[in-house]
Amino acid sequence: MARSAIINVMVQAAMKAGRSLARDFGEVQNLQVSLKGPGDYVSQADRKAEEIIHAELSKARPGYAFLMEERGAVEGDDDQHRWIVDPLDGTTNFLHGIPIFSISIALERQGQIVAGVIYNPAMDELYTAERGGGAFMNDRRLRVAARSKLSDAVVGTGIPHLGRGHHGRALVELKNVMGETAGIRRLGSAALDLAYVAAGRMDGFWENWLAPWDLAAGILMVREAGGFCSDRDGGQAMFDSGTIVAGNEAIHKALLKTIQQKS
C-alpha cells in the first residue's frame, strides 16, 4: 500500500516512539511486583515517547505548531499547521501491564484534521487515515460495522474513577446504554476505542471529558471508515466540549438519543 509523504512522516514518528514504549512496557511488567510500583517509570516512558515524537515531527516539518498532552501548546512559525499528539493514550493500562495503549498523532490544517495515525505497539496494530483517502489498519482498508440496531451493538465508553467527577452522569448513561445494547466495553484508550469503531470491532463509542489529543486522530479514522462522530449534543464541538459519540449513521443516531436521556 502506497502511503503519502505526510502519513509516512507520522508513521515513522509513531513507530519510533512505539519501540520506546514497548521496551518500557516490558520493564513495567517486571515492576508490578515491586513495592514502589512502576508509577515514576511510566511518567518517564510517557515523556520519552513525547520527546521522540516532537523531535521526529519537528525535523520532518519544521515550523508546525504542536498541541501535546505533556508539553501543552507549542507555537510554530507556520500558522496553518498543528500536530495534536497523545504520546501514551491508555496510561492506566500501561501502568498495570495491560497491553491496550496507543500513540495518537493528528495533523490539523487550517483548523481541519487532515491526517491521523494511531499505533498500538503491544499488538503492532497501525491505524492510518487521510482526509478523503480512507482509513487503514496496517494494509487493510477499514469500514465501520454495518449493524443498524442498538440491540445488536457492542459499544465502547470511558468510565470516570476516583479523582474524576461526574460519576452520577456516567451512571445514568451506563444504565440507559446497558438496557439497549448487546454489550459495553471499556478499553481504556479513547484513541483505540475510535480506531476499533473504524475497524468495525465495536459498533459505537461514547465518552465525556476527553481532550483534543484523545480524539483528533480517532475522529478522522471513524469518518474515513464511513462512520459518524459528533459531540453529545449532536454538534461538532468535540474538542471544546470534550464529548464524543461515534458509530455508523444508525448507531450514532440511536446512541446519541440514548445518552441524552436525563434519567
What is the three-state SS of 190-245?
Answer: HHHHHHHHHCCCCCEEEECCCCHHHHHHHHHHHHHCCCEEECCCCCCCHHHHCCEE
- We find the least distance from the C-beta atom of residue 187 to ligand IPD, in angstroms, to be 7
Q: Which residue is nearest to ligand IPD (CB)?
A: 158
- 188 touches, from ligand IPD, Ca ion, none (C-beta below 5 to 8 Å by class): ligand IPD
d(CA 179, CA 207): 17
Q: Which partner in Ca ion, ligand IPD, none is near 24 (CB below 5 to 8 A by kind)?
A: none
List interacting residues with Ca ion (CB under 5 A): 69, 86, 88-89, 214
CB of 159 to Ca ion, least distance (A): 14
Q: Which partner, Ca ion, ligand IPD, none, binds residue 203 by CB below 5 to 8 Å per kind?
A: none
DSSP 8-state assignment for residue 161: -
Q: Which residues bind ligand IPD (CB under 6 A)?
A: 86, 88-91, 158, 188-190, 207, 210, 214
Q: Which is nearer to ligand IPD, 8 or 241 (CB)?
A: 241
Q: How far apart are CA 137 and CA 27, in angstroms?
A: 27
CB of 72 to Ca ion, least distance (A): 13
CB of 87 to ligand IPD, least distance (A): 8
**230: partner contacted, choices Ca ion, ligand IPD, none (Cβ within 5-8 A by kind):** none
Question: Least distance to ligand IPD from the beta carbon of 215, Å?
Answer: 9
Cell reading at 209? 471529558
Q: Which residues pair with 64 in a beta bridge?
A: 78
Nearer to Ca ion, 68 or 126 (CB): 68
CA distance 228 to 248: 6
Please count the CA atoms within 13 angstroms of the CA of 56 that sit on its side-chain side: 23
Q: How far is the CB of 148 from ligand IPD (least distance, A)?
A: 26
When CB distances are held under 5 to 8 angstroms depending on the partner's kind, the choice from Ca ion, ligand IPD, none that residue 181 binds is: none
Closest to 211 (Cα-Cα) out of 187, 244, 184, 236: 244
Alpha carbon distances (Å) from 89 to 103, 121, 149: 6, 12, 30
What's the closest the beta carbon of residue 133 comes to ligand IPD, in angstroms? 25
- Residue 190 or 259: which CB sits closer to Ca ion? 190
Q: 115-148 b/e with 16+ CB inside 10 Å = b?
A: bbbbbbbbeebbbbbbeeeebbbeeeebbbbebe
Identify which of residues 134 and 242 has a Cβ nearer to ligand IPD in the complex: 242
- How many residues are present in the chain? 263
Q: Which is nearer to ligand IPD, 139 or 231 (CB)?
A: 231
Cβ proximity to Ca ion: between 95 and 225 the closer is: 95
- Name which of 141 and 167 has its Cβ closer to ligand IPD: 167
